[in-house]
């Protein structure tokens, strides 16, 4: 499974969505980066898991002592280092690492941040200092649910248990305290069919990624234009093509 996932994200290479024209409305007052900026200070050491091309770290992370940002994909890390060269940051290290086989020091980080990536709460618990904070933002099963139902496939489409609940329980089970699970509801409006298609080709929304079962093939699946046109016809609004997103946030203390 990890080999196929590695190949999938190596082909994408980055998470830069700046060329996709869309707007969004967020109905949940929870922002992982705002929480990190409020809690961290200049002495903090931060680990970012699943950093992708580093765009979020470079744009939203606070000024701290050190940031180590990792990704499973070698190509993503190459992109992140290229993005880093365009800035004046001198406290950020991008490096390749498997989230499920972490080699970071024990009791080292004040914060661990994981956005839209798989995690092993036990290893995260070990690498955090006592009193450290874990911040998670993930994609839940009902994300883009109408679209997934029309295509009869998609990320977590066949899973019986949502990944939000799996993460929540696993984080509590390893010893984290004050664990909060927050549903995040977002409406996104895409200007054109091409903008929506660009999103679907850049993310695994319509791929049968399972959080529970082993995935046999994680290659990007072809997108049936007829089905996509039907979805667009049903969801055209004055603001653009509506896509209902369902995320979740978790905050936990060691």
Contacts of 32 (CB under 8 A, 6+ apart): 113, 115, 135, 136, 137, 249
Strand, helix or coil for residue 128: strand
DSSP 108-149: -EEEEEEESS---HHHHHHHEEEEEEEEEEEE-TTTTHHHHH
Please say if the pLDDT value at position 8 is more than 80. no
Rounded to an integer, what distance in angstroms lies between the CA atom of residue 22 and that of residue 19?
A: 9
pLDDT tens, 138-171?
A: 999 999 999 999 999 998 899 999 999 999 999 9
- Predicted local distance difference test score (pLDDT) of residue 19: 83
E strand segments, 168-211: 177-190
Please say if the pLDDT value at position 9 is more than 90. no
Domains of the chain: 2-141+160-185+244-253 (3.40.50.150)
- Predicted local distance difference test score (pLDDT) of residue 12: 46
Average pLDDT, the chain: 90
Contacts of 24 (CB under 8 A, 6+ apart): 186, 187, 188, 189, 245
Rounded to an integer, what distance in angstroms lies between the CA atom of residue 114 and that of residue 32?
A: 10
Length of the chain: 254
DSSP 8-class letter at 156: T
- Predicted local distance difference test score (pLDDT) of residue 237: 98
Rounded to an integer, what distance in angstroms lies between the CA atom of residue 145 and that of residue 43?
A: 42
| Residue 186 β-bridge partners | 26, 245
pLDDT tens, 190-243?
A: 999 999 998 998 888 998 766 555 544 445 568 999 999 999 999 999 999 999
Find the angle CA(121)-CA(80)-CA(14) to the nearest 5 degrees.
Answer: 85
């Amino acid at each position: 499974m990890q080999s196929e996932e590695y190949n999938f994200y190596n082909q994408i290479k980055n998470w830069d969505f700046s060329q996709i024209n869309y707007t969004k409305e967020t109905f949940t007052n929870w922002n992982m980066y705002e929480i990190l900026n409020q809690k961290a200070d200049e002495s903090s050491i931060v680990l970012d898991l699943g950093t992708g091309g580093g765009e979020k770290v470079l744009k939203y992370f606070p000024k701290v002592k050190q940031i180590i940002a990792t990704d499973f994909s070698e190509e993503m890390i190459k992109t992140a280092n290229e993005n880093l060269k365009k800035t004046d940051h001198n406290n950020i290290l991008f490096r390749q690492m498997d989230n499920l086989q972490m080699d970071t020091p024990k009791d080292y980080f004040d914060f661990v941040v994981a956005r839209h990536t798989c995690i092993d709460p036990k290893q995260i618990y070990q690498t955090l200092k006592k009193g450290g904070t874990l911040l998670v933002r993930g994609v839940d099963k009902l994300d883009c649910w109408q679209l997934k139902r029309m295509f009869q496939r998609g990320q977590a489409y066949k899973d019986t248990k949502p990944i939000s609940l799996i993460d929540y329980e696993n984080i509590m089970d390893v010893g984290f305290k004050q664990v909060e699970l927050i549903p995040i509801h977002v409406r996104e409006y895409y200007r054109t069919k091409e903008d929506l298609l660009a999103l679907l080709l850049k993310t695994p929304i319509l791929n049968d990624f399972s959080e529970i079962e082993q995935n046999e093939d994680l290659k990007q699946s072809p997108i049936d234009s007829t089905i996509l046109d039907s979805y667009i016809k049903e969801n055209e609004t004055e603001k653009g093509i509506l896509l209902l997103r369902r995320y979740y946030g978790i905050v936990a203390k060691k």
